[in-house]
Structure 1
Amino acid sequence: QLMEFDEPLNLMKREGSLFGELVKEYWFHASSSTGN
């Protein structure tokens, strides 16, 4: 379902696998790029 993509965090918690790590890294780099 496309719903999963609508809530990446929910999917991350549910998966808790490599995908979760990728999402975490993505968000981390994305936040750093914004100049947080």
Structure 2
Amino acid sequence: MPTNDIWIAATALENGGRIATFDSHFKLIPGLMIIEII
């Protein structure tokens, strides 16, 4: 996973946010809420 994506995920987790993404590797992060774009 790219470093920038790790920072994005950490920021979302810390602030209770969700991530809208096409990238499936975000599913590897426990507790991260994802909005899947189809």
Shorter-chain TM-score: which interval? Answer: 0.3 to 0.5
Higher relative strand content: 2
When you count helix as a share of all residues, which structure comes out higher? 1
Q: TM-score, normalised by structure 2?
A: 0.39
Taking CA–CA contacts closer than 8 Å with sequence separation of 6 or more, which of the two structures ends up with the larger relative contact order? Answer: 2
Using the size of structure 1 for normalisation, the TM-score is 0.41
